[in-house]
Amino acid sequence: MTPIITLAKKELRGLLYSPGGYIFSGLMAGLAIWLFSNDLFLLGQADVSPLVSTMSYLLTLFVPAVAMGIIAEEKKNGTWENLMTWPVSEWQIVAGKFLGYGVFLILSLGLIVPIMASLVMLGFSEIGLLFSNFLMLVLLSWCFLGVTLVASSLSSQPMVALAGSIIFLLVNSLLGNGSITSRLDPNIQNVLTQLSLSWRAQRLGSGLIELGNLWFLLTFLLGCLIVTTLIIKSRNK
């Protein structure tokens, strides 16, 4: 476990000591508050669902922006060669990096807790629902991080990883958008919707924990970590 924890600490330290992490987190929280406030005053209703919907889209941009260099930056700087020749296995590198960034995402999402608290003050009484939505956002951001890990392992250019992840995540989000897929055959539409991470996550955040959705997101995340490990192994051949 030690190499994983050590790598996670290195990644977390890098994010906490650099202005980039704070800028992106602040920007995400600021946009979330602004967009949510607009919805709140427009609807005149203390409801968590507009916040969750807004956050799903913001995370699509925010997570790849923060994590695009997770592997690509190391390749670009040459430190990857050091890391790969130290006695640490590929899966430990992937796990350590994921853990460091994963903790940072929890801390960043903590910035929207005041918005959730303000909902409670405005009369929203379902604390359990708020909690499940927060957990859902954490899980969704981890899945997005998994996608960014895969993209970052495929390139030594962080911007390429950023573009690749955002395109994948936006297309994946659109699959769950009924107004986009409505012209398709209902069976195909249903299959495409089921593949959408955001749609699955929003179902989880509705307060009803469906194991199928939970398993889908967890399996997707695990799949991304395994694929990244395999890419790293195959790329050095």
Residue numbers at the binding site for other proteins (CB under 8 A): 2-3, 5-7, 10, 13-14, 17-18, 77-82, 84-89, 233, 236-237
Give which of 164, 113, 170 is closest to 138, Cα–Cα: 113
CB-side exposure of 63: number of CA atoms within 13 Å? 36
Amino acid in the structure at residue 3: P
Q: How far is the CB of 99 from other proteins (least distance, A)?
A: 14
How far is the C-alpha of 127 from the C-alpha of 86, rounded, in Å? 47
Q: How far is the CB of 83 from other proteins (least distance, A)?
A: 8
The dihedral over CA atoms of 22, 23, 28, 34, expressed in degrees to the nearest 10, equals 120
> Are 158 and 69 in contact, with CB atoms under 8 Å apart?
yes
How far is the C-alpha of 63 from the C-alpha of 142, rounded, in Å? 9
Q: How far is the CB of 74 from other proteins (least distance, A)?
A: 9
Q: How far is the CB of 144 from other proteins (least distance, A)?
A: 25
Nearer to other proteins, 125 or 234 (CB): 234
Q: How far is the CB of 26 from other proteins (least distance, A)?
A: 20
Nearer to other proteins, 80 or 134 (CB): 80
> Are 76 and 158 in contact, with CB atoms under 8 Å apart?
yes
Q: Please name the helix (run of DSSP H) or strand (run of DSSP E) that holds residue 104, with its range, or none.
A: helix 90-109
Q: How far is the CB of 108 from other proteins (least distance, A)?
A: 20
Give which of 32, 93, 38 is closest to 58, Cα–Cα: 32
Nearer to other proteins, 80 or 142 (CB): 80
Nearer to other proteins, 75 or 203 (CB): 75
Q: Could you tell me what percentage of the chain is helix, strand and coil, using 3-state DSSP and rounding each to the nearest 5?
A: 85, 0, 15
Nearer to other proteins, 41 or 86 (CB): 86
Nearer to other proteins, 62 or 80 (CB): 80
